[in-house]
Structure 1
Amino acid sequence: MAIETSSSTNTHAVADTSTTPAVSVPHPSGTAGLSTRLSARDKLVLFVLCAAQFMVALDFSVLNVALPELGRDLGMSQAALQWAVTAFALPSGGFLLLFGRIGDLYGRRRLFVFGLALFGAASVLATFAWDPASFLAGRALQGLGAAVIVPTGMSLLTTTFPEGPQRDRALGISGTLLSLGFTIGMVAGGVLTDTAGWRSTMGLLSVFALLVLPLAPGLLPESRTPERPHLDVPGAVTVTGGLLSLIYALSTAADRGFGGTDVIVTLVAGVALLAAFVYVESRTAAPLVSLPMLRRRTVAWGNLGGLVTFSMMSTVVFVLTLYLQETLQLSAFETGLVFGVQGVLSVVAGTYAPKVIGRFGARRTLVGSLLGQGAFVTTLLGLGEGGWSVWLAVAGVSLASMCHLGAIISYGLTVTSGVPDEEQGLATGLVTSTQQVGITIGIPLLGVVATTAPNLMRGVHTVLAVDAAVVLVAGVLVALGLGLGRRREATAS
């Protein structure tokens, strides 16, 4: 397929010559009319990066339906099972910004390969775990590997493919696989658990890592910032500690509510550490996060849109899973089919999203996608206890997911467009931190509403109403924040 290059300048400097020749690939201005195609090597690079992102997305959901069997096998109590999720979420969300910056400074490819190796080894440990401690250790190391893979992989993608149609296409494919990985994980988890046991879900991740790892060193170009400033240790400590505390508090609250002492203490600590992080960054000469970047209109409002679309859509999937199985009495396999339709339509949306972005611009696509997601979630308020509700659930969640995928792709482009290559790790670290934190906080925040309602049906309706309202309000705020009503957006934004 013919693709036009961006009119902006984008140079890929290859700093490491150990496995890749030192080259500079310029994309000069004035080449907007030049027709290009992705080379076979570019396609392989895209495959490696997207396969790694898909693997991490799969890990977020593949274990969910296997938790009861896992608990029986390893002797974990119902309360302890939430740590199977939290042990992964804590490091995967808490260390993203740190590893994104380390990759900027010391080599993104090198760190990406290390993350793949760590994730693969951790998956093997989780597969053959002999007690709860060994399993949770494997999950924590998986999360740490994911915290390395996601920001460095996204940085490699945005620095390999020039800003414009090529990057739009690459991010479209990546966003599609991210959404599809979460959905397929839910379906595959049920099938694997029923046929081969819970260990096969972790074994699947091991196979993915072993397939991708040998390809990465020879295919991926090395990239890092030209300068070598000192790593901002105080900033790294405060932001990592703040994110870890916040994610722990919200994950624990999903199981025990917000009244526990540990939840309150860690929630306050998380907010205090993140406030300290902002103070540290305003004083240091080489900050981990550039506050001027956070003040960019596209970075601030784009990440707000991303945070809302991820947190609210993960909540919809969670409450619908409960509703379909508990209220409509669908089996795990039938529930998987519902989300399978959602996954297929997400692929369709991912195919057309770059074309929509090319026509209307990333910012307008982001706003329209948020408003569409909120509108289609609103239709789910018509769910009842009759069998016909299955079809409303299929239609509503699938259409909302198509808009959700448009928001994923367009918010990534909104945040990273116009950012120089030497700061792409920082920008994509913010993007991926938003993804991870969004997926983590949505269910704890609204899950409490569902579990404290007088009955499940009322709880589902309340959660969906709040969810839709949050997304619709966010869409309006992002539109105002990006100034879409005041000036015409450039289509390459």
Structure 2
Amino acid sequence: MSNINGHVTPMPLPAGPPATREAPMSTRERLIVTILLTAGFTLAVDFSILNVALPVIGTDVGFSLENLQWVATSFALCAAGFTLLFGRVADLFGRRRLFLLGVVILGLSSLIGGLAITPGVLIAARVAQGLATAMVTPAALSLLTTAFPEGPRRAHVLGLNGALMAAGFTTGAILGGVLTDLFSWRWAFYINVAVAVIVLAIAPVVLAESRPERRARLDVPGAITVTLGLLAIVYGLTVAGERSWQDPTALLSLLAGAALLIVFWAVEKHVKEPLVPFSVLTRRSVGWGNFAGLIAFVTETSLVFLLTLYLQDVLDYSALAAGLAFAVLGAGTVIGGLVAPKVIAAVGSKQAIVGGLLVQAVATGSLVFLGTSSVFIALLLVATFIGGVANLVAIVGFMVTVTTGVPDEEQGLATGLATMSQQVGITMGIPVMSAIVTATVHADAGQPSTGILTGLTAAIGVNAALCLLTAILAHTFLRRSGASGLRRSGASGDTTERCTV
């Protein structure tokens, strides 16, 4: 087409569809996210807040030295052992209902724990706190995933959740020490009471109930076998970490747990309305996604244990200085949780898992070069920061993967499986790495730090190798389709592949 001067003017091309931009969150959605993430952060803090205070608790309440570990163990057992059961119960009987019940139990048990003057009462309070954690965590996650459709917004809130969960473990260790030194270890319980009151005041107003129209029957045989199996596994891992892997109690518990989980698998194949539908167990996104998440938690939590030994036993840092050194790792995990949604939007959740684990493997692998000089603290800080960012990218990728393509009526199950992977991973990492350190230490006479360093670097090498191997397995077996759909806002449908078994 030409103008009046005879010049040719190109015809305008037809306009393409306008670029879509997600609307900002509504006030109600912000309140939903705030309430659910606050509850999750509080429960993450509870995992570590009493560890520093255990000696003081033993003196004040009257624990014998050999029974003091039950303050932590009783909580971890229930939090990990019952999470899959309660995740499915949330689907069947209502996620909002279970979330609120769990918060009530958390508040009451925390009040009782803060007032406890005998070991039995304190242990009972910690058991109830663990049960509350098993209720609230999968219910809160499934409320998050059902409140936001598959896409960038869900990835964003899961990233925030991952960042706060990771920050909670670090914050718990620091906060426990501060509260114990300045006030009393009892305030570690009382804080939960205040949080529970606030959550219960707001949550019933902003959270909508979600459950299927037809209530399925609870699979009692499946519930019993999987709960007892997980309890036996977690207890066996705990005993192995405290005593040794040759301890008869630890071995029997692990064998019993494995046998019960095999029975559970057989039950689920034949029950009419299983606790965990067999079709869910055979999805690659569920199986391999949860495996990747399990290893992500195994490696990073156990690395903190290894580096704590390095800082205190090799570099002679005080407990306070060692704790402050991990603030860099905490900052890395928070940043990782914030950038993870952008990474997932760009490359998909599968590649976020693979890339995150690969970077974590490199960062962790560099720590095998740690030495006995204090100059190596620079390497430790840089490597843990980078590794923390990468670890959270992988963790958020895992959470997005295992909840994508899952119908709303099974979101409690999906988040229950994810929470189980998280809590078993946290429990499993330390005893595994501790066994490696013990098996490889050959202390030199007069230079004990050299022998400890040998064991630590061997365990760190295994830690990095686990990250690398898991990245390879995730790249091989995870399907891209279920992840790449996240780049489309509001994508839905079951795009996951099923395993051939």
Q: Would the TM-score normalized by the shorter structure come out above 0.5?
A: yes
| Per-residue deviation, 1:103 | 1.1
Partner of 1:102: 89
Does the 8 A contact of 2:84 with 2:417 survive in 1?
Answer: yes
Q: Which amino acid aligns with 1:233?
A: V
| 1:335 aligned residue (317, 322, 328) | 322
Q: Which amino acid aligns with 1:421?
A: D
Partner of 1:24: none
Q: Which moved more, 1:429-438 or 1:189-198?
A: 189-198
| Per-residue deviation, 1:260 | 2.5
Partner of 1:372: 359
Structure 1: distance between partners of 2:84 and 2:350: 24
RMSD: 1.9
| 2:473 aligned residue (469, 473, 477) | 477
| 1:162 aligned residue (111, 125, 149) | 149
- Three-state SS of the structure 2 residue aligned to 1:289 is coil
Q: Which moved more, 1:359-368 or 1:34-43?
A: 34-43
Partner of 1:142: 129
| 1:179 aligned residue (166, 170, 180) | 166
Q: Which amino acid aligns with 1:476?
A: I
Tell me if 1:247 matches 2:234: yes
Structure 2: distance between partners of 1:482 and 1:32: 30
Structure 2: distance between partners of 1:100 and 1:378: 36
Q: Which amino acid aligns with 1:304?
A: F
Q: Which moved more, 1:345-354 or 1:82-91?
A: 345-354
Structure 2: distance between partners of 1:222 and 1:251: 37
Partner of 1:353: 340
| Per-residue deviation, 1:474 | 0.8
| Counterparts of residues 26-45 of structure 1 (less than 5 Å) | 33=20, 35-45=22-32
Structure 2: distance between partners of 1:149 and 1:192: 25
Structure 2: distance between partners of 1:418 and 1:242: 28
Does the 8 A contact of 1:281 with 1:287 survive in 2?
Answer: yes
Tell me if 1:297 matches 2:284: yes
Structure 2: distance between partners of 1:31 and 1:304: 40
Partner of 1:464: 460
| Per-residue deviation, 1:343 | 1.6
| Counterparts of residues 116-131 of structure 1 (less than 5 Å) | 116-131=103-118
Q: 1:224 to 1:324 in 2, by over 3 A?
A: same
Does the 8 A contact of 2:41 with 2:165 survive in 1?
Answer: yes
Tell me if 1:399 matches 2:391: no
| Per-residue deviation, 1:34 | 5.6
Ranges in structure 1 where 5+ consecutive residues have no aligned partner? 1-29
| 1:429 aligned residue (393, 416, 430) | 416
Tell me if 1:417 matches 2:404: yes
Partner of 1:195: 182
Q: Which moved more, 1:230-239 or 1:331-340?
A: 331-340
Structure 2: distance between partners of 1:197 and 1:462: 39
Q: Which moved more, 1:74-83 or 1:51-60?
A: 74-83
Structure 2: distance between partners of 1:275 and 1:398: 39
Does the 8 A contact of 2:90 with 2:98 survive in 1?
Answer: yes
| 1:224 aligned residue (194, 197, 211) | 211
| Per-residue deviation, 1:36 | 1.2
Q: 1:167 to 1:249 in 2, by over 3 A?
A: same
Q: 1:283 to 1:473 in 2, by over 3 A?
A: same
Does the 8 A contact of 2:145 with 2:154 survive in 1?
Answer: yes
Partner of 1:447: 434
Q: 1:116 to 1:32 in 2, by over 3 A?
A: farther
| 2:33 aligned residue (46, 67, 77) | 46
Q: Which amino acid aligns with 2:27?
A: A
Does the 8 A contact of 1:281 with 1:290 survive in 2?
Answer: yes
Structure 2: distance between partners of 1:68 and 1:53: 27
| Per-residue deviation, 1:386 | 1.4
| Cα offsets for 1:4-51 (capped at 9, x unmatched) | xxxxxxxxxxxxxxxxxxxxxxxxxx9993631100110010000000
| 1:282 aligned residue (259, 269, 276) | 269
Q: 1:205 to 1:325 in 2, by over 3 A?
A: farther
| Per-residue deviation, 1:451 | 4.1
| Counterparts of residues 51-90 of structure 1 (less than 5 Å) | 51-90=38-77
Structure 2: distance between partners of 1:243 and 1:66: 27
Does the 8 A contact of 1:79 with 1:255 survive in 2?
Answer: no
Structure 2: distance between partners of 1:148 and 1:31: 43
Does the 8 A contact of 2:46 with 2:172 survive in 1?
Answer: yes
Partner of 1:383: 370
Q: 1:385 to 1:115 in 2, by over 3 A?
A: same
Structure 2: distance between partners of 1:264 and 1:345: 36
Q: 1:274 to 1:407 in 2, by over 3 A?
A: same
| Per-residue deviation, 1:207 | 2.7
| Per-residue deviation, 1:128 | 1.8
Q: Given the two structures, how large is their TM-score scaled by the length of structure 2?
A: 0.89
Q: 1:32 to 1:220 in 2, by over 3 A?
A: farther
- Three-state SS of the structure 2 residue aligned to 1:71 is helix
| Per-residue deviation, 1:490 | 4.3
Does the 8 A contact of 1:187 with 1:339 survive in 2?
Answer: no
Does the 8 A contact of 1:324 with 1:330 survive in 2?
Answer: yes
Ranges in structure 2 where 5+ consecutive residues have no aligned partner? 1-16, 443-450, 488-494, 496-501
Partner of 1:233: 220
- Three-state SS of the structure 2 residue aligned to 1:276 is helix
Structure 1: distance between partners of 2:380 and 2:166: 18
Structure 2: distance between partners of 1:31 and 1:161: 23
Partner of 2:490: none
| Cα offsets for 1:412-431 (capped at 9, x unmatched) | 00111111111111111111
Q: Which amino acid aligns with 1:65?
A: V
